[in-house]
Structure 1
Amino acid sequence: MDPLPPNVHVSKHPCLVAKLSQLRSKSTSAKEVKSLVHEIAIILGCEALAHAVSAAPGSTDETPLGFPYQTTSVLPETISLVPILRSGLGMVEAIQTLLPAPVPVHHLGLYREPISLEPVEYYNNLPDHSSATGQGASGLAVILDPVIATGGTCAAAIQSLREWGAQRVLVLSVLGAAGGVARAAAEWPAGVEIWLAGVDAELTDRGMLKPGLGDVGDRLFLTIGK
């Protein structure tokens, strides 16, 4: 497998690696899949956000014992979560838990055309979506998508956020194919960082990761075989 681009980071956390192994199993139930995706997102999010945001001094507050102290906030001030429908929804709660304050959640709906395997956008609720003004754009937009296969969907999402006016994009993914991850990372090398729990070297002829973990959306929402 060729070396990954410098803006791609693969976690070495032993607990994360073990949970990914559990998620791969065909015997893992839908309830367990949901829990594992959530737990993996928490560990991965901790590592990624430690690099993507910074602490900043805030206002003065008071402890229950009456002692004053200076609060801490995070920068950038404007952060948004952008789950890719459907499976990205399984990662939202984990990242919301990590962030110290509520942030907007904007949804992108993309699917792969079965023949070409290229992405087709069917839903976009980015506010004031305009490449000309970028009004309402975030300092950091966090794409949540458990699997990067061909990389087309992730690259299209990155492009949409860049046109919207996001200053930086952070991609959190459970598993990616090496070629697809490289394709997504090349979409905006200066503005994108990609963090993953694991990388597979190959894709099947249907564009699925090998060995992979199946269709995460189907496993989360019990629509296997639809």
Structure 2
Amino acid sequence: MSNLPPNVHVSQHPCLLAKLSQLRSQNTPSRDVKGLIHDISLIVACEALAKGLESVKGPTDQTPLGFDYQTHTILPGTISLVPILRSGLGMVDAMQTLLPNPVPVHHLGLYREPTTLHPVEYYNNLPNHLAGSGSAGAVASDLTIILDPVIATGGTCAAAIQTLREWGTQRIIVLSVLGAAPGVRAAAAEWPEGVEIWLAGVDEELTDHGMIKPGLGDVGDRLFLTIGK
């Protein structure tokens, strides 16, 4: 594997590597694709949040038998999930399962222009996402978690990072299933001091059309049965 920046982390979890192999197969049906994306996201998120969150003591509570115990909560205090449409939606349930409390889910719609492969934003529902606009009470989350199953050229991920940085978030964790080494490096360089990228795997090459080789195909198409659209 090519040398990757220090803010990029690639899991070596044996179960995750086996599930990634299953996900790559052209014979894996859509129902199983959905389950594998969920499972892989959960494993990657466990590793990422073990490093990216802090446990702090909360108030004393009681068990059903009346015994006192020390509660714990997590920091930072404000966290948002930002799935990149469409395929990022497949990772949301895993994150909501893992986090101890509900958090806001904001959506970013980005696609690659077919000729230039440059990212184009078509949807953004971040509250008050431009300085000086929106509701006066809306503030950016301390930590924003980008959910983007595939980092190919890195342009979409870098654009999302730039948008969230302009929004005012203090820190970003990117969770991804698979990346291409050149694209991962490009995304990691967008804001090195504020971004950590966690992936299940990294491939070395991209095709001329910006697809990861060998990759796992178009995740959105596989999730939503729109192959050949």
Q: TM-score range by the shorter chain?
A: over 0.9
Say which of 169, 172, 178 aligns to 2:172. Answer: 169
Corresponding residue for 2:94?
A: 94
Report the equivalent of 1:213.
216
1:53-72 pair list within 5 angstroms: 53-72=53-72
Note the aligned Cα RMSD (angstroms). Answer: 1.1
Cα distance in structure 1, aligned partners of 2:55 and 2:211: 39
Hey, what's the Cα distance between the residues in 1 that align with 2:130 and 2:110? 19
In structure 2, the residue matched to 1:180 is 183
Task: Give runs of aligned pairs for residues 25-174 of structure 1, distance below 5 A.
Answer: 25-131=25-131, 135-174=138-177
Match of 2:206 among 203, 207, 211: 203
TM-score (normalised: structure 1) = 0.98
Structure 1 residues 47 and 214, CA, compared in 2 at 3 Å: closer, same or farther?
same
**Secondary structure at the residue paired with 2:184?**
helix
Which residue of structure 1 aligns with residue 196 of structure 2? 193
Q: Distance in 2 between matches of 1:194 and 1:132?
A: 30
Please state how far the C-alpha of 1:68 moved relative to its aligned partner.
Answer: 1.1
Corresponding residue for 1:21? 21
Q: Structure 1 runs of 4+ off > 4 angstroms?
A: 132-135
Structure 1: stretches of 5+ with no match in the other structure: none
Deviation at 1:40, TM superposition (A): 0.2
- Which 10-residue stretch deviates more, 206-215 or 122-131? 122-131
SS in 2 for 1:88: helix
How many residues were matched structurally? 226
Give the alignment's TM-score, normalised by structure 2: 0.97
* CA–CA distance in structure 1, aligned partners of residues 216 and 130 of structure 2: 36
For 1:180 and 1:122, locate their aligned partners in 2 and report how far apart those are by CA, in whole Å.
21
